[in-house]
Amino acid sequence: MIRSVAIIGAGNMGSGIAQKSSSEGFSVQMVDHEQEWVDRGHATIEKFLDEAIGRKIFRPEQAEKIKSNIKGVVGHQNVAKDTDLVIEAVFEDFSLKQEIFSSLDSTCDEKTILATNTSSLSVNELSQQVERKDKFLGIHWFYHPAKNRLVELIPAESTSQETLDEVEQYCKTMGKVIIFCKDRPGFCVNRFFVPWINEAARLKEEGIATAGQIDKVACQAFRIGLGPFGLMDLTGPTIALHASDYLSDQLSVPRFRGADNMRELVKRGGSWDIGDDPDCDEVAAKTIKDRLMGQAFAVSSQIVEEGICSMEDVDRGAKVGLRWSFGPFELANRIGVKEASRMAIEYAELAGIEIPDWFANRQQPFDFSYVDVSVDEGIATILINRPESMNALDVTVMDQLGEAVESLNARNDVNTIVLEGAGKAFVAGADVKFFVDMIAQDNFQRLYDFTVDGHKVLNSIESSPHTTIALATGLALGGGLELALSCDYRLGTERSVLRFPETSLGIFPALGGTQRTTRICGIEAARFAVLGGNFLDPSTARALGLLTHLVPAAEVARTVSDISSTGKPDQKYPGKPADPSNPVAEFSAAFYCDSNMESIISGSIPDGLEPDDPNVARQIKALSRAAPLALRTASELLDQAIATGDDLSAGLQMELDQLESTFDSNDAVEGLSALIEGRRPDYKGT
């Protein structure tokens, strides 16, 4: 169980890892070979946190706590012996890394895990420098570690599963999107991204277009905000040159070697001249698009063919790590797989590389899997693996989730099903764009069918013969919270955030949210959650009963094991808060009592309540932002949850019966559209 972390190297990357680790509650040592560099690392963190305070990301007291939790250490030989995880984050010098790990191997306790933050060097070769080969692995962070959500985990051939599990949990605690990679040059993202950068330099070198023109075409073709030359100027051409040469040498591909103009630029210490050039002609634009896309398609297919990672992870790396709108395989589907294959073949011939037949000869679009299933000693884990979209529920995800649950329900070697989301969200709701598109197309039937199918999936979880656990350890919003409530248990951590935002979007929770919530925590608390759309912090969610367990992140795995041994709960639907004395539970009982509801729904303050009371004022303000039609319908459905009592299926059917009148309303169109457009909705109550 990782609680303490030491970072070797206090530069931009090392200080960023230290800052992120500290902000998530880990005890941190930031280490460098001289006090000057340690001090510089602290200064870098302080500057970053000051900017975050200015942008209201952190409060001053939070920033102070982060800084106070980072201890500066001079000399890697002075790392605390009992440190749980040591991450080496020095520059890419194999000899230096060898020296550091040989020293750490003798300095640290046997339990200490050693990790290298490398973007390219062989993890297997570095593991030979330590005796604890089972406790050694690679973690490739992406800049800036406190902001970029992607990490690549690269086990050595000797890395134990226990080590990998512990480091994975450490990364999950920080809300990272994790790609597991085979130890091959460039791993996943740099394997296709570095040659992509280099190919842009070669296009300029050949006189196809200027740097500015190439960037414009690249931004349009890949739907990205910054082109290859802009990226090089931001991160430094030296890094691109070093990485290009390394990949060329390791893979024996001369085409990947750093372009001469890049080499000259680094030699004179300059940056690319990216002017506001006029657009290039159509022929040049097509050449740029074909070469850059062809390179991405060709190399990405090699990554999958070599078993480095999956198609889905390649796309995930592009979207999360590089902030591309689409990954290479998604992009292939968008432009047509046949066209993508043509581009890849032409680039492969130019570069002298081979691409697999399954890509070169492909005619049909690629199918993607967003739901991963694993089983270990009777405990099955269903991972909703779409972190680039906060694991939002769309038709594909819902279908795949349903298939996974149905399959596991039928297995005799499974006694527990755990639902988990990749990244920082459990599930951040349904895919809003799908709802808007269906309403705009006047295709309510498809929206209705999606909701009906969603009910079937959640009901199959509800009625599962196995114990079901939702790891609501991040954001559980809307449909994601409804999914969690269908489980026997909901496990949260200090990072959990629960909310039903639907009434503020012109709709109501239609996947059982009005019915299960009421049966779990009682009508008044359900009104607080559903009608008020209030954010529920972990302790409040636990007090209301929406979370059944609240534990430190490091204890999630043990708690799952304990729950699995216990089996299903005696009473899933107690119909009252778990802690009625909690201030929120008490306020809900007073504010949302039956006698106040007529006034609340009509938009007035109930008699006997003080409008100057901050709690009352907050609720009135929240209710004023809800769509009147959705608020009224949701309130009626909450009442029906009481009326139908033990007959959950009757209550769920009432949700479906109310679907069209609310979801096909003008208010629903306005609320959902406003969310996508980033504005406040203007409801008319129609």
- Among residues 21, 122, 127, 140, the one annotated as catalytic is 140
Spatial distance between the Cα atoms of 196 and 292, rounded to a whole number of angstroms: 6
Other CB atoms within a 10 A radius of the CB of residue 645 amount to 12
First to last CA, the chain: 54
281: left (phi over 0), alpha (psi -120 to 50) or beta: beta
Which token pair is 116? Answer: 């290298």
- Return phi, psi of residue 348, to 5°: -60, -40
Q: Are 188 and 152 in contact (CB under 8 A)?
A: yes
User: Burial of 608 by CB count in 10 Å (0-12 exposed, 13-18 middle, 19+ buried)?
Assistant: exposed
Spatial distance between the Cα atoms of 478 and 429, rounded to a whole number of angstroms: 5
If DSSP states are collapsed to H, E and C, what string results for 273-338?
CCCCCCCCCHHHHHHHHHHHHHHHHHHHHHHHHCCCCCHHHHHHHHHHHCCCCCCHHHHHHHHCHH
Write down the H helix ranges in 320-420: 328-335, 337-351, 357-360, 395-409
Placement of tokens 């990364």 in the chain: 171
Q: Are 203 and 174 in contact (CB under 8 A)?
A: no
- Among residues 190, 310, 391, 486, the one annotated as catalytic is 190
What does the DSSP 8-state code read for residue 388?
A: G
- Return phi, psi of residue 288, to 5°: -60, -50
Spatial distance between the Cα atoms of 270 and 275, rounded to a whole number of angstroms: 15
- Among residues 24, 88, 152, 388, the one annotated as catalytic is 152
Q: Are 398 and 384 in contact (CB under 8 A)?
A: no
What does the DSSP 8-state code read for residue 535?
A: -
Spatial distance between the Cα atoms of 510 and 124, rounded to a whole number of angstroms: 50
In the sheet that 475-477 helps form, which strands lie side by side, from edge to edge? 425-427, 475-477, 497-499
Pairing of strands 489-492, 467-471: parallel
Is 119 labeled as catalytic in the residue annotation? Answer: yes
What does the DSSP 8-state code read for residue 536?
A: B
CA angle 368, 346, 252 (to 5 degrees): 90
Largest CA distance in the chain: 80
> At 20, is the secondary structure helix, strand, or coil?
helix
> At 85, is the secondary structure helix, strand, or coil?
strand
Q: Are 380 and 417 in contact (CB under 8 A)?
A: yes
User: Burial of 231 by CB count in 10 Å (0-12 exposed, 13-18 middle, 19+ buried)?
Assistant: buried
- Among residues 15, 21, 119, 244, the one annotated as catalytic is 119
Which token pair is 137? Answer: 């692995």
Report helix angle 583-591 to 523-530, nearest 10: 90
Spatial distance between the Cα atoms of 181 and 150, rounded to a whole number of angstroms: 12
Is 152 labeled as catalytic in the residue annotation? Answer: yes
Is 549 labeled as catalytic in the residue annotation? Answer: no
Q: Which of 542, 476, 523, 491 is nearest to 636 (CA)?
A: 523
Spatial distance between the Cα atoms of 409 and 405, rounded to a whole number of angstroms: 6
Q: Are 107 and 120 in contact (CB under 8 A)?
A: no
Q: What are the Cα distances from residue 182, in Å, to 117, 156, 161, 186, 542?
A: 15, 8, 14, 10, 40
Spatial CB neighbours of 682, under 8 Å, sequence gap ≥ 6? 670, 674
- Which residues are catalytic, by number? 119, 140, 152, 190
